[in-house]
A = this chain, B = another copy of it.
Amino acid sequence: MSRADRFLKACRRETVDVTPVWLMRQAGRYMPAYRRLKERYAFLDMVKTPDIATEITLQPVDAFNVDAAIVFQDILPILEPMGLKLEYVGGSGPVIHNPVRTPADVECLAVHPAVEAMDFATAAIRQVRRALDGSVPLIGFSGAPFTLVCYAVEGGASRDYRHAKSLMYGQPETWRRLMEKMSMAVGDYLQAQAAAGAQALQLFDSWAGALSPADYEAYVLPHTRHAIEMVTNTCDVPLIHFGTGTSGMLPLLKRAGGHVIGVDWRIELDEAWNRLGAEVAVQGNLDPTVLFAPVPVIESQAARILDSVRGRPGHIFNLGHGILQHTPVEHVSALVDFVHGYG
Protein backbone atom coordinates (compact mmCIF):
# COMPACT_ATOMS: atom_id res chain seq x y z
CA MET A 1 0.00 0.00 0.00
CA SER A 2 1.29 3.48 -0.78
CA ARG A 3 0.38 6.98 0.21
CA ALA A 4 -1.80 7.08 -2.90
CA ASP A 5 -4.69 5.27 -1.18
CA ARG A 6 -4.02 4.87 2.55
CA PHE A 7 -5.90 8.05 3.52
CA LEU A 8 -9.01 7.32 1.45
CA LYS A 9 -9.17 3.75 2.72
CA ALA A 10 -9.03 4.95 6.32
CA CYS A 11 -11.85 7.43 5.60
CA ARG A 12 -13.93 4.40 4.56
CA ARG A 13 -12.78 2.48 7.69
CA GLU A 14 -10.96 -0.09 5.59
CA THR A 15 -7.81 -1.78 6.86
CA VAL A 16 -4.57 0.01 6.01
CA ASP A 17 -0.88 -0.93 6.30
CA VAL A 18 0.07 2.04 8.50
CA THR A 19 -1.98 4.90 9.92
CA PRO A 20 -2.29 7.69 7.34
CA VAL A 21 -1.27 11.16 8.45
CA TRP A 22 -1.70 14.73 7.25
CA LEU A 23 -1.76 17.98 9.19
CA MET A 24 -4.37 20.69 9.16
CA ARG A 25 -2.90 23.89 7.68
CA GLN A 26 0.12 21.83 6.56
CA ALA A 27 0.64 24.37 3.76
CA GLY A 28 1.43 27.53 5.66
CA ARG A 29 3.58 30.00 7.48
CA TYR A 30 5.77 27.57 9.39
CA MET A 31 7.36 26.52 6.05
CA PRO A 32 10.25 28.64 4.76
CA ALA A 33 9.13 28.08 1.15
CA TYR A 34 5.72 29.54 2.03
CA ARG A 35 7.22 32.53 3.81
CA ARG A 36 9.33 33.34 0.78
CA LEU A 37 6.18 33.54 -1.36
CA LYS A 38 4.37 35.49 1.35
CA GLU A 39 7.01 38.21 1.15
CA ARG A 40 6.04 38.82 -2.47
CA TYR A 41 2.26 38.42 -2.46
CA ALA A 42 -0.71 39.49 -0.35
CA PHE A 43 -2.55 36.62 1.30
CA LEU A 44 -5.75 36.94 -0.73
CA ASP A 45 -3.74 37.19 -3.94
CA MET A 46 -2.03 33.90 -3.10
CA VAL A 47 -5.41 32.30 -2.41
CA LYS A 48 -6.88 33.59 -5.67
CA THR A 49 -3.98 32.75 -8.00
CA PRO A 50 -4.17 29.05 -8.93
CA ASP A 51 -0.47 28.86 -9.88
CA ILE A 52 0.59 30.10 -6.46
CA ALA A 53 -2.05 28.10 -4.60
CA THR A 54 -0.85 25.00 -6.42
CA GLU A 55 2.77 25.65 -5.53
CA ILE A 56 1.90 26.15 -1.84
CA THR A 57 -0.32 23.05 -1.77
CA LEU A 58 2.56 20.93 -3.02
CA GLN A 59 5.20 22.29 -0.61
CA PRO A 60 4.35 20.00 2.34
CA VAL A 61 3.67 17.04 0.03
CA ASP A 62 7.20 17.39 -1.28
CA ALA A 63 8.77 18.12 2.11
CA PHE A 64 7.09 15.44 4.22
CA ASN A 65 5.76 11.97 3.69
CA VAL A 66 2.13 13.04 4.34
CA ASP A 67 -0.66 10.85 2.97
CA ALA A 68 -2.87 13.63 1.63
CA ALA A 69 -2.63 17.09 0.13
CA ILE A 70 -5.11 19.78 1.13
CA VAL A 71 -5.62 22.58 -1.35
CA PHE A 72 -4.20 25.92 -0.22
CA GLN A 73 -7.25 28.09 0.27
CA ASP A 74 -9.01 30.12 2.94
CA ILE A 75 -12.49 29.69 4.41
CA LEU A 76 -13.57 33.34 4.05
CA PRO A 77 -13.36 34.25 0.32
CA ILE A 78 -16.73 32.61 -0.33
CA LEU A 79 -18.25 35.47 1.67
CA GLU A 80 -17.15 37.99 -0.99
CA PRO A 81 -19.46 36.88 -3.83
CA MET A 82 -22.23 36.67 -1.23
CA GLY A 83 -21.82 40.45 -0.85
CA LEU A 84 -19.40 40.91 2.05
CA LYS A 85 -16.38 43.20 1.91
CA LEU A 86 -13.48 41.10 3.17
CA GLU A 87 -10.05 42.47 3.95
CA TYR A 88 -6.98 40.94 5.57
CA VAL A 89 -5.49 43.66 7.71
CA GLY A 90 -1.84 42.88 8.42
CA GLY A 91 -1.38 41.37 11.86
CA SER A 92 -4.95 41.69 13.10
CA GLY A 93 -6.63 39.08 10.93
CA PRO A 94 -9.65 39.25 8.64
CA VAL A 95 -12.13 42.12 8.77
CA ILE A 96 -15.56 42.23 7.15
CA HIS A 97 -16.46 45.86 6.62
CA ASN A 98 -20.21 45.33 6.20
CA PRO A 99 -21.17 42.71 8.80
CA VAL A 100 -24.58 41.04 8.62
CA ARG A 101 -26.78 42.27 11.46
CA THR A 102 -30.35 42.83 10.19
CA PRO A 103 -33.03 40.91 8.27
CA ALA A 104 -32.36 43.23 5.30
CA ASP A 105 -28.63 42.37 5.42
CA VAL A 106 -29.55 38.69 5.28
CA GLU A 107 -31.94 39.18 2.36
CA CYS A 108 -29.20 40.92 0.38
CA LEU A 109 -26.80 37.97 0.63
CA ALA A 110 -26.38 36.22 -2.71
CA VAL A 111 -26.17 32.43 -2.66
CA HIS A 112 -26.05 30.96 -6.11
CA PRO A 113 -23.56 33.18 -7.85
CA ALA A 114 -21.21 32.50 -4.93
CA VAL A 115 -19.80 29.26 -6.21
CA GLU A 116 -19.23 30.62 -9.73
CA ALA A 117 -17.04 33.34 -8.29
CA MET A 118 -14.91 30.69 -6.61
CA ASP A 119 -13.46 29.47 -9.89
CA PHE A 120 -9.97 30.27 -8.62
CA ALA A 121 -10.50 27.54 -6.00
CA THR A 122 -11.77 24.93 -8.44
CA ALA A 123 -9.04 25.86 -10.93
CA ALA A 124 -6.42 25.30 -8.22
CA ILE A 125 -7.93 21.91 -7.44
CA ARG A 126 -7.74 20.85 -11.09
CA GLN A 127 -4.17 22.09 -11.37
CA VAL A 128 -3.05 20.38 -8.13
CA ARG A 129 -4.64 17.10 -9.21
CA ARG A 130 -2.65 17.20 -12.43
CA ALA A 131 0.55 18.02 -10.56
CA LEU A 132 0.03 15.31 -7.94
CA ASP A 133 -0.59 12.77 -10.69
CA GLY A 134 -2.09 10.25 -8.28
CA SER A 135 0.75 10.34 -5.75
CA VAL A 136 -1.51 11.39 -2.85
CA PRO A 137 -5.21 12.23 -2.74
CA LEU A 138 -6.31 15.86 -2.62
CA ILE A 139 -8.64 17.26 0.03
CA GLY A 140 -10.88 20.27 -0.64
CA PHE A 141 -12.56 22.16 2.17
CA SER A 142 -14.99 24.83 3.29
CA GLY A 143 -15.83 26.62 6.49
CA ALA A 144 -18.99 25.23 8.06
CA PRO A 145 -22.14 27.38 8.02
CA PHE A 146 -21.88 28.34 11.71
CA THR A 147 -18.24 29.38 11.60
CA LEU A 148 -18.81 31.39 8.41
CA VAL A 149 -21.94 33.03 9.84
CA CYS A 150 -20.00 34.01 12.97
CA TYR A 151 -17.41 35.80 10.83
CA ALA A 152 -20.16 37.41 8.74
CA VAL A 153 -22.08 38.70 11.77
CA GLU A 154 -19.15 39.63 14.02
CA GLY A 155 -17.23 41.23 11.15
CA GLY A 156 -14.10 39.30 12.09
CA ALA A 157 -12.77 37.04 14.80
CA SER A 158 -14.44 37.26 18.21
CA ARG A 159 -13.87 36.17 21.77
CA ASP A 160 -17.48 35.69 22.78
CA TYR A 161 -19.53 35.80 19.53
CA ARG A 162 -21.86 38.26 21.20
CA HIS A 163 -23.34 39.70 18.01
CA ALA A 164 -23.80 36.31 16.36
CA LYS A 165 -25.42 34.76 19.41
CA SER A 166 -27.59 37.83 20.01
CA LEU A 167 -28.94 37.43 16.49
CA MET A 168 -29.39 33.69 17.07
CA TYR A 169 -31.31 34.13 20.32
CA GLY A 170 -33.10 37.37 19.56
CA GLN A 171 -34.05 36.99 15.89
CA PRO A 172 -34.36 33.24 15.36
CA GLU A 173 -36.14 33.59 12.02
CA THR A 174 -33.43 35.87 10.63
CA TRP A 175 -30.83 33.47 11.99
CA ARG A 176 -32.55 30.52 10.33
CA ARG A 177 -32.66 32.34 6.99
CA LEU A 178 -28.98 33.32 7.30
CA MET A 179 -27.87 29.79 8.17
CA GLU A 180 -30.04 28.41 5.36
CA LYS A 181 -28.36 30.67 2.83
CA MET A 182 -24.91 29.90 4.18
CA SER A 183 -25.51 26.16 4.16
CA MET A 184 -26.60 26.33 0.51
CA ALA A 185 -23.49 28.30 -0.44
CA VAL A 186 -21.29 25.84 1.46
CA GLY A 187 -23.01 22.83 -0.09
CA ASP A 188 -22.64 24.29 -3.60
CA TYR A 189 -19.01 25.11 -2.99
CA LEU A 190 -18.14 21.64 -1.70
CA GLN A 191 -19.97 20.04 -4.65
CA ALA A 192 -17.97 22.22 -7.05
CA GLN A 193 -14.71 21.18 -5.39
CA ALA A 194 -15.61 17.50 -5.71
CA ALA A 195 -16.57 18.06 -9.35
CA ALA A 196 -13.20 19.73 -9.94
CA GLY A 197 -11.42 16.68 -8.59
CA ALA A 198 -11.18 16.94 -4.80
CA GLN A 199 -11.07 13.33 -3.57
CA ALA A 200 -12.16 14.14 -0.02
CA LEU A 201 -13.72 17.20 1.60
CA GLN A 202 -13.34 18.71 5.04
CA LEU A 203 -15.86 20.98 6.71
CA PHE A 204 -14.19 23.23 9.30
CA ASP A 205 -16.54 24.20 12.12
CA SER A 206 -13.72 25.68 14.15
CA TRP A 207 -16.08 27.69 16.33
CA ALA A 208 -18.73 25.04 17.05
CA GLY A 209 -17.29 24.76 20.55
CA ALA A 210 -18.55 28.26 21.35
CA LEU A 211 -22.04 26.76 21.67
CA SER A 212 -23.84 24.72 24.29
CA PRO A 213 -24.96 21.30 23.02
CA ALA A 214 -28.61 22.42 23.13
CA ASP A 215 -27.91 25.56 21.10
CA TYR A 216 -25.81 23.60 18.61
CA GLU A 217 -28.67 21.17 18.17
CA ALA A 218 -31.35 23.85 17.79
CA TYR A 219 -29.58 26.55 15.81
CA VAL A 220 -26.76 24.87 13.89
CA LEU A 221 -27.14 21.13 13.40
CA PRO A 222 -29.97 21.22 10.81
CA HIS A 223 -28.02 23.65 8.63
CA THR A 224 -24.72 21.79 8.86
CA ARG A 225 -26.59 18.62 7.99
CA HIS A 226 -28.16 20.35 5.00
CA ALA A 227 -24.75 21.41 3.67
CA ILE A 228 -23.29 17.95 4.25
CA GLU A 229 -26.24 16.16 2.63
CA MET A 230 -25.98 18.39 -0.45
CA VAL A 231 -22.55 16.82 -0.91
CA THR A 232 -22.97 13.27 0.31
CA ASN A 233 -26.21 12.80 -1.66
CA THR A 234 -24.54 13.78 -4.92
CA CYS A 235 -20.78 13.12 -4.66
CA ASP A 236 -18.97 9.91 -3.91
CA VAL A 237 -16.19 11.41 -1.78
CA PRO A 238 -15.61 11.06 1.96
CA LEU A 239 -16.43 14.08 4.07
CA ILE A 240 -14.51 14.98 7.24
CA HIS A 241 -16.51 17.01 9.75
CA PHE A 242 -14.15 18.86 12.06
CA GLY A 243 -14.77 21.07 15.08
CA THR A 244 -12.91 22.22 18.19
CA GLY A 245 -14.22 22.41 21.73
CA THR A 246 -16.76 19.71 20.92
CA SER A 247 -15.92 17.15 23.66
CA GLY A 248 -19.36 17.63 25.24
CA MET A 249 -21.36 17.20 22.04
CA LEU A 250 -19.62 14.75 19.73
CA PRO A 251 -22.78 12.69 19.07
CA LEU A 252 -24.43 15.87 17.73
CA LEU A 253 -21.58 16.46 15.28
CA LYS A 254 -22.02 12.91 14.09
CA ARG A 255 -25.76 13.47 13.67
CA ALA A 256 -25.00 16.51 11.52
CA GLY A 257 -23.05 14.18 9.26
CA GLY A 258 -19.69 13.23 7.87
CA HIS A 259 -17.85 9.98 7.22
CA VAL A 260 -14.98 11.08 9.45
CA ILE A 261 -15.27 13.22 12.60
CA GLY A 262 -12.28 15.46 13.38
CA VAL A 263 -11.56 15.70 17.10
CA ASP A 264 -9.42 18.20 19.00
CA TRP A 265 -7.00 17.25 21.81
CA ARG A 266 -9.32 18.11 24.69
CA ILE A 267 -10.57 14.54 24.94
CA GLU A 268 -8.83 11.17 24.71
CA LEU A 269 -9.27 9.95 21.12
CA ASP A 270 -10.53 6.50 22.13
CA GLU A 271 -13.08 8.05 24.48
CA ALA A 272 -14.20 10.36 21.68
CA TRP A 273 -14.56 7.43 19.30
CA ASN A 274 -16.55 5.47 21.90
CA ARG A 275 -18.96 8.37 22.20
CA LEU A 276 -19.22 8.70 18.43
CA GLY A 277 -19.72 5.01 17.74
CA ALA A 278 -18.02 2.69 15.26
CA GLU A 279 -19.94 3.86 12.17
CA VAL A 280 -17.64 6.83 11.65
CA ALA A 281 -13.90 7.16 11.16
CA VAL A 282 -11.98 9.63 13.35
CA GLN A 283 -9.24 12.14 12.64
CA GLY A 284 -6.91 13.65 15.22
CA ASN A 285 -5.87 14.54 17.77
CA LEU A 286 -2.39 15.76 18.78
CA ASP A 287 -2.18 19.17 20.50
CA PRO A 288 -0.42 21.38 17.88
CA THR A 289 1.87 22.82 20.57
CA VAL A 290 3.37 19.36 21.11
CA LEU A 291 5.31 20.01 17.88
CA PHE A 292 7.34 22.58 19.84
CA ALA A 293 8.46 19.83 22.24
CA PRO A 294 11.65 17.75 21.89
CA VAL A 295 11.25 14.88 19.40
CA PRO A 296 11.05 12.12 22.07
CA VAL A 297 8.08 13.92 23.64
CA ILE A 298 6.41 14.29 20.23
CA GLU A 299 6.92 10.59 19.64
CA SER A 300 5.56 9.49 23.00
CA GLN A 301 2.50 11.72 22.62
CA ALA A 302 1.87 10.35 19.11
CA ALA A 303 2.37 6.78 20.35
CA ARG A 304 -0.20 7.34 23.08
CA ILE A 305 -2.79 8.37 20.50
CA LEU A 306 -1.94 5.51 18.14
CA ASP A 307 -2.02 2.95 20.96
CA SER A 308 -5.39 4.16 22.21
CA VAL A 309 -7.15 3.34 18.92
CA ARG A 310 -4.96 0.47 17.76
CA GLY A 311 -6.83 -2.24 15.89
CA ARG A 312 -9.81 -0.02 15.04
CA PRO A 313 -9.82 0.65 11.27
CA GLY A 314 -10.62 4.25 10.42
CA HIS A 315 -8.09 6.42 12.23
CA ILE A 316 -6.44 9.26 10.32
CA PHE A 317 -3.63 10.82 12.34
CA ASN A 318 -3.70 14.60 12.47
CA LEU A 319 -3.33 17.48 14.87
CA GLY A 320 -6.31 18.58 16.93
CA HIS A 321 -6.29 21.96 15.13
CA GLY A 322 -4.16 23.74 12.53
CA ILE A 323 -0.38 23.64 12.73
CA LEU A 324 0.98 26.76 14.45
CA GLN A 325 3.28 29.42 13.04
CA HIS A 326 6.92 28.92 14.18
CA THR A 327 6.49 25.12 14.35
CA PRO A 328 9.93 23.59 13.64
CA VAL A 329 9.82 21.99 10.19
CA GLU A 330 12.07 19.11 11.26
CA HIS A 331 9.61 18.22 14.00
CA VAL A 332 6.82 17.90 11.44
CA SER A 333 9.00 15.55 9.46
CA ALA A 334 9.83 13.51 12.58
CA LEU A 335 6.14 13.21 13.50
CA VAL A 336 5.04 12.04 10.06
CA ASP A 337 7.80 9.45 9.87
CA PHE A 338 7.12 8.26 13.41
CA VAL A 339 3.42 7.67 12.67
CA HIS A 340 4.30 5.67 9.59
CA GLY A 341 6.94 3.64 11.37
CA TYR A 342 4.96 2.93 14.51
CA GLY A 343 3.73 -0.50 15.42
Contacts and interface: CB of A to CB of B under 8 A. Distances in A.
A324 B160 contact: yes
A288 B245 contact: no
Contact-size category for A: 35 or more
A22 to B, nearest CB: 20
A214 interface: yes
A105 interface: no
A288 B160 contact: yes
Contact of A169 (B170, B272, B297): B297
B290 A169 contact: yes
Nearest to A263: B248
Interface in A169-187: 169-170
Given A169-B293, A170-B294, A293-B170, A215 B287 contact: yes
Contacts of A160: 288-289, 324
Contact of A267 (B165, B247, B324): B247
A274 B313 CA distance: 30
A304 B215 CA distance: 11
A97 interface: no
Interface string A277-289: 0000000010111
Given A214-B268, A247-B267, A248-B267, 16 more contacts: A162-B292, A165-B287, A165-B293, A166-B292, A169-B290, A169-B292, A170-B293, A170-B297, A209-B245, A212-B268, A213-B267, A213-B268, A214-B301, A248-B266, A249-B266, A249-B267
